[in-house]
Structure 1
């Protein structure tokens, strides 16, 4: 069984037991979180498509850890003007494990 769910503003296709990285959540490591914005479910009973959400379904997950992503280098330059700016950025992520898709 899989589901398409919105987590922290992004849509993910999730299955039970899967570990994914999402944008940083306000939860501590080891906490259980639940997501109600389930847009589609597929399983033995068939496919259920919501308008926009499937009623009665939720996805339960456990927060594993908070991590930083790879560094992204942002470099800006204007030719012949002597203008150069170099910045770096590391995105904050939360690693979660999908425990259940219940409906």
Structure 2
């Protein structure tokens, strides 16, 4: 059984027991989380697709912790113009573990 959920403006294909790093959520570590934006649920040959969401479907997850991804380095340069720009970015994330899918 798997599902497609939407959180943080992104879509994820998940199954029970899977660990996932999603955009930062304002929840504490160790707490339970219920995601109700489920776009699709598949159980074997039976597939339920929403328009846009599946009615009554939820995904439960446990928050494992908060963190930051590796630094992305941005370097811009224009040749022969004496222009160089260095920039970096680290995105925050919340790590969750999927504990159940209910359709």
Q: Same fold judged by TM-score > 0.5?
A: yes
Unpaired segments of 5 or more residues in structure 2?
none
Question: How many residues were matched structurally?
Answer: 103
Q: Hey, what's the Cα distance between the residues in 2 that align with 1:83 and 1:31? A: 48
Displaced runs of 4 or more, over 2 A: none
Question: Matches of 1:94 and 1:9 in 2, distance apart?
Answer: 14
Q: Is 1:82 aligned to residue 82 of structure 2? A: yes
Which residues of structure 1 form unaligned runs of 5+?
none
Alignment root-mean-square deviation, CA: 1.1
TM-score w.r.t. length of structure 1:
0.94
1:93 maps to what in 2?
93
In terms of fraction of residues, the more strand-rich structure is 1
- What TM-score comes out, normalization by structure 2 length? 0.94
In the TM superposition, 1:36-55 aligns within 5 A as 36-44=36-44, 46-55=46-55
1:29-68 alignment runs, 5 A limit: 29-44=29-44, 46-68=46-68
